[in-house]
Amino acid sequence: MRMKYLAATAAALLLSAAPLASAARELIVYHGWSSKAEVAALHVLQDALTAKGHSWKDLAIPHNSGVNVSLVNLVTGGEPPNAFVNSDPGVYRDLQGLGLARDLTDYYKQIGATDNFFPIIRELSTVDGKMVKVPLFMHIDGMVYWNMEVAKKAGVDPTAWKSVDEMIADFPKVKEAGFVAAAVGGQAFQVGYLFHAMLAATAGPDIYNRMYGAEVDPTVFDTPEVKKAIEIVRVFSEQATPESENRPWNETTNTVIAGQALFHIMGDWMKGEWLAAGKKPGVDFGCEVIPGTKAVSVTSDAMGVLGGQDAEIDKAELDLVAAFVDPVVSAKANQQKGSTSPRADASTEFQDDCNKVAMAALNVPNGQVANPFNITNSDWHNAIWTVMYNFWSDKNLTTDDAVQALKDNYDQVFG
């Protein structure tokens, strides 16, 4: 019944669309950008759209506001956005069911973008065999960003770490120097990201995909690799200070920038916070993948465009796509965001030392895995977050307790 209603509403929206006299269009863009770095990147994209002769109308709900608005509800509510920031494959399948999906496969070939996207980006941009996403920002989920002055005062060299164990071995030395070794934020999302980044880094693609792939292998929970990643999460939880509970990721990063902590492991969107604070890579801060990395988890912050519009709106939306994946625009926007361009041919003029670290990791054969949001059943993904956050918060829970909780949640999710 619900799908019949959605389909009927969608049809009404299509019939009501009327072409305007001018080729210039005002395009509604739905997003959740709000941090300094995100807004700086957004301005680059806005300028690129303006250069195409169109204007950008914001429909912004900051991701840290606690407000959750369904894209499908916006589409069926009478004023659908033309473009929307969302990487969830389920959203694109919902739009397909409404006849409002937009297949960009042929268009990317036409403008010469397909072969210039990194292979992992082509994978992350594809839903059910069609490229439907506009890759904007490419992030590595588990990067180490450290304060070079703190490292000097503590007498440690993060570039010398060859494994996570070597990293952890320096924690007491950092603490003795009066600093927090690993800045952490006590939120389910931050703990979840730490876990999947550590699992990719220490276990590699096979174990990672058995845990997070479309077909979850429950025998993976008892492997030494999964238990090792859980144990690492415990060590990091012991670094948590009282004020870290519920602290947002960017505030956590800023404790490193302020010289209170040595490093933070999070997505390389951290770099935007450092740049916004006037800091320079290689001078004020260093960056590297998790020591001993076997694979990096890659996030593609992506946008979709609505299909089924009138011809002029369709053309304007394709202008938006072309503007945003342009190699120069992409390089500029990613430099502001703290990320790396999804295009392998992006202008190197805007790449810094941290981009070079990311590029090196992206060019390792079989060295990348997809962020769980793009490949995992959402209920299972959320269940892992819950298990790991409960483990993080309750120091009485053991690794075996966490493994059992994963098994119990697997049974509940997959029946």
Cα–Cα dist 84/71, whole Å = 8
266 residue type, one letter: M
pLDDT at 252 over 90: yes
Fill in the DSSP letter of residue 244.
G
pLDDT for 264-319, tens place per residue?
999 988 888 898 899 999 999 999 999 999 999 999 999 999 998 889 999 999 99
Confidence at residue 89, expressed as pLDDT on a 0 to 100 scale = 85
Tell me the mean pLDDT in the region 119-133.
Answer: 94
Confidence at residue 19, expressed as pLDDT on a 0 to 100 scale = 37
Tell me the mean pLDDT in the region 341-360.
Answer: 88
Burial of 282 (0-12, 13-18, 19+ CB in 10 A): exposed
Please count the residues of the chain.
415
149 residue type, one letter: E
For 5, the token pair is 């209603």
Q: Is pLDDT larger for residue 17 or for residue 342?
A: 342
Cα–Cα dist 231/236, whole Å = 9
Confidence at residue 61, expressed as pLDDT on a 0 to 100 scale = 81
Other CB atoms within a 10 A radius of the CB of residue 64 amount to 11
Let me know: does 313 contact 151? Beta carbons within 8 Å: no
pLDDT tier at 65, thresholds 50, 70, 90: low
pLDDT at 223 over 50: yes
DSSP 229-278: HHHHHHHHHTT--GGGBT--HHHHHHHHHTTSEEEEEE-TTHHHHHHHTT
pLDDT tier at 20, thresholds 50, 70, 90: very low
310 vs 100, 306, 317, CA distance in Å?
Answer: 12, 11, 11
Phi-psi region of 201 (alpha: psi -120 to 50; beta: other; left: phi over 0): alpha
pTM, to two decimals: 0.81
Among the listed ranges 36-45, 75-84, 158-167, 382-391, which one has the minimum average pLDDT value?
75-84
For 47, the token pair is 């300028």
Phi-psi region of 328 (alpha: psi -120 to 50; beta: other; left: phi over 0): alpha
| Mean pLDDT, the chain, integer | 90
Nearest to 370 by CA among 296, 283, 294: 296
pLDDT for 194-205, tens place per residue?
999 999 999 999
Confidence at residue 175, expressed as pLDDT on a 0 to 100 scale = 97
Compute the Cα dihedral for 143, 145, 151, 157 and give only its sign: positive
Which residues, in sequence order, are CB contacts of 201 under 8 Å at separation 6+?
142, 164, 289, 290, 292, 293, 294, 295, 296
Walk me through the domains of the chain, giving residue ranges and CATH numbers: 2-137+301-351 (3.40.190.10), 143-297+370-414 (3.40.190.10)
DSSP 198-214: HHHHHH-HHHHHHHHSS
Let me know: does 92 contact 132? Beta carbons within 8 Å: yes
For 190, the token pair is 């931050």
For 62, the token pair is 């900051």
